[in-house]
Amino acid sequence: MMDYPRASIYRLVGHIILLRQSARKVMETYISVEEDEAAKQLEFDLDILAAVDAIQADDDLLATTIYESVRQTQLDLDPEAILDFAFQILGNHSQRSADDLRSSLPLDLSSVTKRTWMAIADIVAEAISYGISIQLARDRSVSWKDWMSDALLLLVSPGPSSHLFTDHGRKFIKTCITYAPSETSHTLISRYSTPHSAAPTGGWEVVVRILLANGILQQCSNADIFSFSKSTAMNLKATSLLDMTTRALTLELSENHIWTLVMVAAEALHRQLDDVLAASTPWETWMDEALLFICKATGNKYWLQTDLIRGIHGKLLVGLSAPHFLRFLANPSNAEILENDTMRKDP
């Protein structure tokens, strides 16, 4: 009797599951199958894959056969089931239970390999992005679930190469910020301030800066970026962004908290001003609020300390004769904030 390597046997099991899935799709074309029964069969396939991975824990097997097998199921299976499977796989490769990992979100995943992390991140992001796209097509909105918070926290957890974002992961985070800004910011604020968090990355403000540095926030529209900063302020118990600047001590907000949201608002405003000055986009209401917040929060102390804010200052001076900016200045309260906190430089 020929002695086959264990890895080959496990890979063969994965290919058998792929064949089972293909055969099932052909059968369903001709034979009516109850949805509950089909889902149970698919979940059984995931259980087999998780068991195979638990024995072998092979990066190559995970990134190829197992990954492709899961992709076959994501169109027909609840995204939450695939997320459960992803935590099982992550547990296999980090020597921790799936329940322990989930209760410790966000995680420090520096112990897993880059290939393992990218495969798991794509499994999660692809499945849940597909589920959200179905919601958007049906309801034109996202109904946020607790497991979506778990998926978000998993994908922003630092991996083997610090914060490593796959293309599918970027798309998922962008979707969260665009369609559920309040829930997204609440998830980051609430879980990054809990003592059981295992991720050594600091508070929520560090994650937001990482999203900026990696260009993920910039993939959203400028209005959506600003909406995210506004939702974050309200989740920090402020009534508005301006309220953060006047009640920082009462709200127990640090300079880093406020400065992070200044950077988010500045990113949105800086990009939007290009279109406004080119006369391709009208001055929008949110721009008033963004500008006032940036001016009030920075004042003389920080105004010229970053290229981004210095760029906004220059664009505003260029646009001083533009009708939209003249209307903005015509508001006495706006003009007072600009005069007292921004336009005046230290001697």
| 126 neighbors 71 (Cβ within 8 angstroms) | yes
In this structure, the answer to whether residues 284 and 175 fall within a common structural domain is no
Q: Which residues of 158-177 are buried (b: 16+ CB within 10 A; e: fewer)?
A: bbeeebbbbebbbbbbbbbb
Shared domain check, 325 and 270: yes
Structure-token match 């001083």, residue found: 320
pLDDT score at 3 = 43
In a domain, 309, yes or no: yes
327 and 191 together in one domain: no
For position 42, what pLDDT does the model report? Answer: 59
Q: How much is the pLDDT for 344?
A: 41
Separation of alpha carbons 288 and 286, rounded Å:
5
pLDDT at 337: 62
Do 104 and 159 belong to one domain? yes
Q: Number of folded domains in the chain?
A: 2
Q: Are residues 70 and 203 in the same domain?
A: yes
The pair of three-digit structure tokens given for residue 244, joined into one six-digit string: 């953060």
- Residue 188 domain-assigned (yes or no): yes
Nearest to 233 by CA among 215, 218, 251, 221: 251
Whole-angstrom distance, CA of residue 181 vs CA of residue 178: 6
Would you mind telling me the total number of residues written for the chain in this entry?
A: 347
**280-295 CB burial, b ≥16 within 10 A, e <16:** eeebeebbebbbbbbb
Q: Is residue 18 part of a domain?
A: no
CB atoms within 10 A of CB 320: 9
Asked whether the beta carbons of 105 and 197 are under 8 A apart, the reply is: yes
- Backbone phi and psi for residue 270, each to the nearest 5 degrees, phi listed first: -60, -45
Residue 298's pLDDT is 77
Residues 260 and 336 in one domain: yes
- Ramachandran category for residue 291: left, alpha or beta (phi over 0 → left; psi -120 to 50 → alpha): alpha
Same domain, 195 and 251: no
Examine the domain organization and report whether 172 and 265 are in the same domain.
no
142 in a structural domain: yes
Looking at residue 12, its pLDDT comes to 52
Full residue range of the structural domain in which residue 329 is found: 242-347
For residues 102 and 180, state if they share a domain. Answer: yes
Q: What is the pTM of this model?
A: 0.81
Query: Same domain, yes or no, for 140 and 284?
Result: no
In a domain, 21, yes or no: no
Share of the chain above pLDDT 70, in %: 75
Helix H or strand E segment including 7: helix 6-30
List per-residue pLDDT tens for the chain, 347 residues long.
344 454 554 555 555 555 455 544 443 444 444 545 444 565 667 888 888 888 877 888 888 888 888 887 776 778 898 999 999 999 999 889 999 999 889 888 888 899 999 999 999 999 899 889 888 989 888 899 999 999 999 999 887 776 778 899 999 999 999 999 999 999 999 888 765 555 545 688 989 999 999 999 999 999 999 999 999 999 999 998 988 888 887 888 888 888 899 999 999 999 998 888 887 788 888 998 998 888 888 765 544 467 888 788 778 777 665 666 677 777 776 766 666 554 444 43
| Per-residue confidence (pLDDT) for residue 18, from 0 to 100 | 55
In a domain, 307, yes or no: yes
